[in-house]
Amino acid sequence: MDAPVKAHDGFAEGEPPPPLQPFLHDACVSLAAPSLCVSGPDGAIRGGADGFYHGDRRLLSHLDATVDAVPMAPLGAATLPDGETVFRTVLRGLAEQTPDPAVVLERRRTLAPGRLTERYTVRNAGGLSARLRLTLTAAADLSTMEQVKSGRPAAAWPARPLPDGARWSDGAVTGTLTLSAPPDERTVEAGGAVTLAYDLHLRPGTAWTVVLRCDAEHRDGDLFPAPATGTRWWSVPAVSGPDHRLAHWAARTDRDLRGLVLSDPLRAQDVFLAAGAPWYLTLFGRDALWSARMLLPLGTDVAAGTLRTLARRQGRADVPRTEEQPGKILHEVRRDEPGGPRAGGLPPSYYGTADATPLWLILLHDAWRWGMPDAEVEALLPHAEAAWNWLERYADADGDGFLEYADSTGRGLSNQGWKDSSDGIRFRDGRPAVPPIALSEVQAYAYEAAVKSAALLDAFGRPGGERRRGWAAELRERFRARFWVEDAAGRYPAVALDGGKRAVDSLASNMGHLLGTGLLDPEEAALVARRLVGPASGMDSGFGLRTLDAAAAGFNALGYHTGSVWPHDTAIAVHGLVRQGFTEEAGRLAAGLLGAAEQFGYRLPELFAGYPREEQPRPAPYPAACRPQAWAAASCVLLLQALFGLEADARAGSLRHAVRVPPGFEGVTLRGVRVAGRTFALSAAADGTISLHEG
């Protein structure tokens, strides 16, 4: 996904401070893709990233409730299982005869695609009557998400008053605010805001309610609409056991992922997971593919929808401006807003990614193994051929046998793996790697894609399988010869090769992505496991893997890709460790990530700070992280798959599992696992041994 907005290097005295990306770490986020609402913990929408958004446009930039001359004391927020969020605020001093609060303003928020609804209720539980003036203030700037993210929001848009509310529209997008009861006073301010005031007289034991609704509409319709309501695309991951945290995390994962589902307007039945809220509530190739792959133990519908949605947008021509190439899977899609390319310089449909294409091939194979129908898989094989042709003809631009990338536009992403910030790939001494860059994990994905696409060709009676296996074997040997480096602690795989074919010698979490792909032999896998989780490792923060070793010159615990912890990154390493037989190391990382999930209320953010657990008993947030975020949420399912060692073979009708769960996870039961229409449950006994039951 797009790298974060960079901060300034300093500014001269007297100059205004430069715009900064808004922080989100204490925000309350409600989600019903393609809509979301971001507010403060008290429910107020006051600035920064706060707002009601639909399809990457901000329909409300301000929405606040105040009571004249009355101190207000927020009590906090609670999110109910149905997604409704309740905010309560004490109106201090009103109707009070004792120190107990008497009058409370309750704000109940519900979100549906294209609609924000807020129910304001003032309750008087005191023994005296209460008189008050409640004022609702609303404004809209109609900013694009890119403007908000860059810290450069648009000015407030003039409000058009309506008998029961107000409307804001720039012709492309319209927001309409309506109230269930007319206000006693309405004022449209010169700056574009509208104030709506109610004079209330509440006798003891009574309450008053008004319902506010804001409806959003894009003139050209939604880029990716919400799917049909009432549909489920995966089974509920039901977890039980002595440690209740896994159950809470799985339940929250299910709710958050349902809020991130979007559909393909070209075929409404095909759904995928938007990358994350608020910055990335759209189609991202890499994120959607990884998230769908993580969900496979619960069903293949999301995987099938993701594969087809991306296949329809697969590259067909060589277009340097967008980095499109024949067979290539795209990076992201945004709405083509007026004014041309977005502030970051990226075109609306952008193909600057080195890993989405091999990941698409891997997902096609894995979805087939988990039960995606043969006919649906076979229909995608022509797209698989095109993807493979891209790997062979375009991905290796200089012919050295490795997949590499370089931004050819001057406006695209300088790094095009999952660590796509400009400083994400650097040497151990802090120097940035110069492109073209060949990432270690991209070689692993390509190896796995070659082997797995060969298996698909064999299964569907098509030629070419042996050639791809030969290609993979040669890549494996080239990788062994060029990527492995050594320091005082021994050998390890470099994070990348730079443009001069020098090994970029950082100790980085990317090496965890190599595990379980087949690229490493057992001895090499053991070396990687020791570097990730060994006693002298600077990678394990105690809450998950740091993206960069703590001893590296460029380490920053709050660096986006240079020391922070990404939950999906750790979960991928846990899964790989289990596949390579390192269950104890996997259990240690899994326990750390579970501890982090608990501290974040089981809604893990996109990333968090990489401070050591010994110094920071609660993980510190990365202030601008998405939350929820698809692959952070889905990492719970991948973790469960890893704990039980699940591997499916739908053609054989089998579900294989490990002999026992890693230490610390004894007694866990997982229900809802699906393989080709059959449902399974797995239980770990007190000694960790696993049993499998159908139904």
Q: What is the DSSP string of 536-598?
A: T-SSB-SSSBBSB-TTSTT--TT-TTTT-B-HHHHHHHHHHHHHTT-HHHHHHHHHHHHHHHH
One CATH from 3.40.50.2030, 1.20.210.10, 3.40.47.10, 2.70.98.40 for 28-32+35-218 = 2.70.98.40
Residue 257's pLDDT band, with cuts at 50, 70 and 90, is: very high
Residue 17's pLDDT band, with cuts at 50, 70 and 90, is: confident
How many helices (H) and strands (E) are present in the chain, helices listed first?
13, 31
How far is C-alpha 515 from the geometric centre of its chain's CA atoms? 22
pLDDT of 7: 43
Q: What percent of the chain has pLDDT over 70?
A: 97
Q: Where are the beta strands (DSSP E) in 244-375?
A: 261-264, 267-273, 332-333, 349-350
Give backbone dihedrals phi and psi of 432, rounded to 5 degrees, phi first: -75, 145
The whole-angstrom separation of Cα 27 and Cα 42 is 9
Determine contact, residues 194/137, Cβ cutoff 8 Å: yes
pLDDT single digits (tens) 319-373: 999 999 999 999 999 998 755 445 457 899 999 999 999 999 999 999 999 999 9
pLDDT of 5: 47
The whole-angstrom separation of Cα 675 and Cα 654 is 8
Closest CA to 227 of 29, 34, 56: 34
pLDDT of 158: 95
pLDDT single digits (tens) 562-591: 999 999 999 999 999 999 999 999 999 999
Provide the residue ranges of all domains of the chain, joining segments of one domain with +: 28-32+35-218, 238-694
The whole-angstrom separation of Cα 567 and Cα 575 is 12
pLDDT of 4: 55
Q: How is 22-83 classified by DSSP, letter by letter?
A: PP-TT-EEEEETTEEEEE-TTS-B-STT-EEEETTEEEESEEEEEETT--EEEEEEEE-TTS
For residue 237, which amino acid is it?
P
Report the predicted TM-score, pTM, of the whole model to 2 decimal places.
0.96
Half-sphere exposure of 640 (CA within 13 A, CB side): 31
Q: How is 412-480 classified by DSSP, letter by letter?
A: S-S--SS--STTSSB-TTSPBPPSSBEEHHHHHHHHHHHHHHHHHHHHTT-S-HHHHHHHHHHHHHHHH
CATH architecture of residue range(s) 238-694:
Alpha/alpha barrel (1.50)
Half-sphere exposure of 48 (CA within 13 A, CB side): 19
Question: DSSP class of residue 682?
Answer: E
Half-sphere exposure of 277 (CA within 13 A, CB side): 33
pLDDT of 230: 84
**Mean pLDDT computed over 438-466:** 98
**Which residues lie across from 176 on neighbouring strands?**
167, 215
Q: Is the pLDDT of residue 448 over 50?
A: yes
- For 390, other C-beta atoms within 10 Å of its C-beta total 21
Closest CA to 198 of 61, 60, 72, 65: 65
